[in-house]
Amino acid sequence: MAENKSLIQEFKEFISRGNVIDLAVGVILGTAFGRIVTSIVEDIIMPPVGVLIGNVNFTDLKVVIREAYTEGEKLMPEVSVRYGNFLQITFNFLIIAASVFLFVKVINRVKREQKKEEIKEDEKIKETVVPDSEELKVLKQIRDSLKK
């Protein structure tokens, strides 16, 4: 039983670490972002593209290898290569990848600007001359007299 408590305690410690929680939040946001982009691609971008190339729904594009047929009372399904669905998913991926790339690029630019501002603040602090206190002046005099 003591072993179980330590295992449970270890699990609690593991799950409460910041990086695990950050990862969970990232996965949840990534999933939601993926759904949004998929909707943008499938519902907004692809219908006009389909109209431009002749009223084509990309997910319906396929090469039929064998037509559906009836064998006795049994209906045998069509066998086909659905390359349109592959094109749709590939297009979704490219848009998601481009969106993430642009998002990361903006974040990196903002971080660089913040870093520049921090460096400027540090330089201002270094340039600020603080007058010596009386104690420091006395200590410097002692040091100088010891050097002689």
Tell me how far apart the alpha carbons of residues 128 and 29 are, in angstroms, rounded to a whole number: 45
Closest CA to 33 of 100, 94, 89: 100
pLDDT score, position 105: 92
For residue range 33-86, what is the model confidence (pLDDT) as tens digits? 888 888 888 888 888 888 887 877 778 888 999 998 998 889 989 999 988 888
* Statement to judge: residues 98 and 108 lie in one domain: yes
* Statement to judge: residues 134 and 106 lie in one domain: yes
pLDDT above 70 for 1 = no
* Statement to judge: residues 51 and 62 lie in one domain: no
* Statement to judge: residues 81 and 127 lie in one domain: yes
Domain that holds residue 97: 58-148
Q: What total number of domains does the chain contain?
A: 2
* Statement to judge: residues 120 and 75 lie in one domain: yes
pTM of the model: 0.53
Number of Cβ within 10 Å of residue 58's Cβ equals: 21
Helix, strand counts (H, E) of the chain: 5, 4
For residue range 6-34, what is the model confidence (pLDDT) as tens digits? 888 888 877 777 777 788 888 898 888 88
* Statement to judge: residues 15 and 82 lie in one domain: no
* Statement to judge: residues 4 and 41 lie in one domain: yes
Q: Label residue 56 exposed, middle or buried (CB < 10 Å: 0-12, 13-18, 19+).
A: middle
The overall average pLDDT reported for the chain is 83
- Are 23 and 17 in contact by the 8 Å Cβ rule? The answer is no
* Statement to judge: residues 41 and 52 lie in one domain: yes
